Amino acid sequence: MKITICKDERSFDVAAAWRIIGQLLEKPSAVVGLSTGATTINMHDIIAAIYADYPFDVSRVTFFNVDEFTNVPADYDGSCYNTIYRHLTGPLGIPAENFIMPPTISDDMEAECRLFEQRLAARGGADLQILGIGLNGHIGINQPGAPFEGETWVSHLDTDYELRIRRETGAGDDVKLGGLTRGIKNIMQTRKLILVAKGKHKAAIIEQAILGPVTTDIPASVIQLHPNCEVLLDADAGARLVGKIS
Ligand code: GLP
């Protein structure tokens, strides 16, 4: 596993942006999986800014996000679709058919899970998956305990996230919120993984996920088993690795 620790947050954001642009330059028809959250917003804005000044070919790329909230209105500003659209696929002018996302509302979410993976497979499968990491070690919305052989499914959310979405959408207790997420098996089948993290609050979970045992208690630890994986961090998130890795 390759580990890159950037000197500060800005250099992390820029390095991460270039990892994605690099993939697009190397393979203009790449299938690229993104991740939402505070960690990835700047990298997406930087890609959009570089594209505005120095356009590159995005006519054949396929983007998708690793997860999406379920049972929230399609126009909810904080949905993964809307977040990625606002920061990246909109500014890059990606046509709708090249931004593959499951719907937030459906009568048959299990079918949506299968369809999501089928649509990625029809494009040749995912080349790159950017992964954020939750404070409990989740990747996508695979919470602790999620099986490594699990396929794309609808998971429960962690409590903080659920409360935030209820607040932002006004969803009552009768609305069952969740998250459609690529399963750990699907994530691991991606040709290249880049796990990204920044900030002091991520240092402890990064240490556990990267240097600790591979265990379903820390879903992100599974990436230790991936043959083509990079962990890209800022100095704060990587602080507990210093002196422990060669
Ligand atoms: C959410 C997303 C995850 C992401 C995580 C990290 O849970 N569903 O895919 O990895 O947030 O969030 P942040 O970057 O805000 O710490």
- Asked whether 35 lines ligand 1 (CB < 6 A), one says yes
pLDDT of residue 23: 98
pLDDT at 5 over 90: yes
Distance 43 CA to ligand 1 centre (A): 14
CA–CA distance, 130 with 140 (Å, rounded to integer): 10
Counting from 1 in the atom list of ligand 1, the atom nearest the Cα of 65 is: 9
Confidence of residue 246 (pLDDT cuts 50, 70, 90): confident
Structure token pair of residue 178: 């969740």
Token look-up 């070690």 returns 137
pLDDT of residue 142: 98
Q: Which secondary structure element, helix H or strand E, spans residue 193, and what is its range?
A: strand 192-197
Q: Whose CA is nearest to atom 12 of ligand 1?
A: 37
**Distance from the first to the final alpha carbon of the chain:** 11
Q: What is the pLDDT of residues 151-189, one digit of tens each?
A: 999 999 999 989 999 999 999 999 999 999 999 999 999
pLDDT of residue 191: 98
Q: What is the pLDDT of residues 51-99, one digit of tens each?
A: 999 999 999 999 999 999 999 999 999 999 999 999 999 999 999 999 9
pLDDT of residue 91: 98
- Asked whether 83 lines ligand 1 (CB < 6 A), one says no
Q: Where are the alpha helices (DSSP H) in the chain?
A: 9-26, 38-53, 80-84, 109-122, 159-169, 184-189, 203-211
Residue 29's identity, in one-letter code, is: S
pLDDT of residue 43: 98
pTM over 0.85: yes
Distance 132 CA to ligand 1 centre (A): 5
pLDDT of residue 143: 97
> Under a CB-based contact definition with an 8 Å cutoff, are residues 227 and 194 in contact?
no
Structure token pair of residue 109: 């979410």
- Sign, CA dihedral 76-81-85-86, equals positive
- Asked whether 236 lines ligand 1 (CB < 6 A), one says no
Q: What is the pLDDT of residues 94-123, one digit of tens each?
A: 999 999 999 999 999 999 999 999 999 999
Q: What is the pLDDT of residues 25-41, one digit of tens each?
A: 999 999 999 999 999 99
- Asked whether 37 lines ligand 1 (CB < 6 A), one says yes
The rounded percent of the chain whose pLDDT value lies above 90 is 98
Counting from 1 in the atom list of ligand 1, the atom nearest the Cα of 131 is: 10
